[in-house]
Amino acid sequence: MTIDHAARRARLAAALPAHEVPALLVTSPVNVRYLTGLVSSNAAVLVRADGSALLATDNRYIDKTRALDVPAVEAPDVAGRLAAPGVGIEAAAMTVATFRRLEAGLEESGGGRLVPLGPLVEELRAVKDEAELELIRTACALTDQAFADVLPLIAPGLTERALARLLDNRMTELGADKPAFDTIVAAGENGAIPHHAPTDRELRAGDLVTMDFGARYHGYHADMTRTVCLGAPAAWQRDLYDLVRRAQRAGRHALTPGAQAKDVDAAARGLIEAAGHGEHFRHGLGHGVGLEIHEDPFLGPSRTGRLEDRVPITVEPGIYLPERGGVRIEDTLVTREGGPELFTKTTKELLVL
């Protein structure tokens, strides 16, 4: 499946009149990639309301632009090359220093202001086309396969860091660009820290071990968390796991086009609160995934907005008991009219190793 970048630029162009700008100067590297296909660390693209566009990048990347369907110019100062009076800029992607420099440049050439705008391209990116969904589906399949391959190696004596490395290496061997983010492995009491960075702590019998990881494939991200138990689980561990699993299922089932972001969160959180663990679940239920690992939309108690069709998103409730440990279960799914499609297919039965 090929990606139609011109269609994406046309959708952006159609959104510009409502913001009363003749063009948008896009400087976020991931948004430039989305609109043109150019993967770089220094590029900008000016998308005009008539759908035409001009790309600027420096001499390291200019050769790559020849294969693209958008005209390109070489410039060391990519934003300065494209800035023009009255055009919109991505406020979240431009530093104040750059903004001031560009405005000073416009001043010298006769005046005119830039118009800081919100996340226009990010809003377009939330709904994926089928080509993007196929890449995320593949990223998730690589993630599942890496977990299946590493599972037999998980045993007492292995350190958190060594286990994280096994997952990272396996994903890369299977064809991932690289890990989608810094892999989390949290054993025993460390499982009480949602974003624990792996240490040299060894896995021990009786530990719950949480692994949060994913593959990146052609720029698109997967995100999955599983918690396993080393040796037979204690009653509290099994109870905690069952509760998180029920909450995760409720969250998945609430994931329909048209649902409010906060209602999806509440479907899972309500079960955890009713069991007396509300204070032990302190993060949002999930987030969109795509060219970034965390992108719109976000699921949480104070999040506004409704889900649309074809939005890849995670559902990841967790319960974290200070000094004892924790459980998190996370899948990547995509909203569909007939019910969500599950991308990460690893079992959610409690695996006892």
Element (H, E) at 209: strand 208-213
Count of residues interacting with Zn ion (CB under 5 A) = 5
Identify residues 238-297 at the interface with Zn ion (CB under 5 A).
none
Q: Which one of the spans 166-174, 192-200, 233-241, 324-332 is the region binding Zn ion (CB under 5 A)? A: 324-332
* Alpha carbons 76 and 18: distance in angstroms, whole number: 32
Sheet with 224-229, side-by-side order of all strands: 184-187, 208-213, 224-229
Q: Which one of the spans 81-89, 273-281, 302-310, 311-319 is the region binding Zn ion (CB under 5 A)? A: 311-319
Q: Which one of the spans 18-26, 33-41, 58-66, 223-231 is the region binding Zn ion (CB under 5 A)? A: 223-231
What 3-state DSSP class applies to 100? helix
Give min distance, CB of 73 to Zn ion, in A: 38
In angstroms, the Cα distances linking 125 to 14, 120, 218, 292 are: 15, 9, 16, 10
Give min distance, CB of 77 to Zn ion, in A: 36
Give min distance, CB of 87 to Zn ion, in A: 35
User: CB-wise, 225 or 237, nearer to Zn ion?
Assistant: 225
CB-based burial, 248-266: b 16+ in 10 Å, e otherwise: bbbbbebbbbebebbebbb
User: CB-wise, 65 or 225, nearer to Zn ion?
Assistant: 225
The residue type of 265 is D
Is residue 212 close enough to count as binding Zn ion by CB under 5 A?
A: yes
In angstroms, the Cα distances linking 340 to 257, 313, 337 are: 9, 10, 8
Strand pairing category for 220-221 and 215-217: antiparallel
Cβ neighbours, 10 Å, residue 88: 22
Site string for Zn ion, 169-208 (x = CB under 5 A): ----------------------------------------
* Alpha carbons 122 and 286: distance in angstroms, whole number: 17
What tokens does 180 get? 């989608």
User: CB-wise, 182 or 239, nearer to Zn ion?
Assistant: 182
Q: Which one of the spans 46-54, 153-161, 167-175, 325-333 is the region binding Zn ion (CB under 5 A)? A: 325-333
Among 36, 237, 314, 344, binds Zn ion (CB under 5 A): 314
What tokens does 59 get? 């001499």
DSSP state of 197: P
In angstroms, the Cα distances linking 244 to 186, 192, 260, 285 are: 17, 14, 21, 11
Q: Which one of the spans 80-88, 221-229, 237-245, 271-279 is the region binding Zn ion (CB under 5 A)? A: 221-229
Identify residues 54-93 at the interface with Zn ion (CB under 5 A).
none
User: Please, which residues have CB within 8 angstroms of residue 134's CB and are 6 or more apart in sequence?
Assistant: 1
Q: Which one of the spans 70-78, 88-96, 169-177, 323-331 is the region binding Zn ion (CB under 5 A)? A: 323-331
Nearest to 227, CA basis, from 247, 242, 217: 242
Identify residues 330-349 at the interface with Zn ion (CB under 5 A).
330
User: CB-wise, 227 or 314, nearer to Zn ion?
Assistant: 314
Give min distance, CB of 322 to Zn ion, in A: 21
Among 90, 122, 132, 223, binds Zn ion (CB under 5 A): 223
User: CB-wise, 61 or 213, nearer to Zn ion?
Assistant: 213
User: CB-wise, 48 or 170, nearer to Zn ion?
Assistant: 170
Write out the residues near Zn ion by the rule CB under 5 A: 212, 223, 225, 314, 330
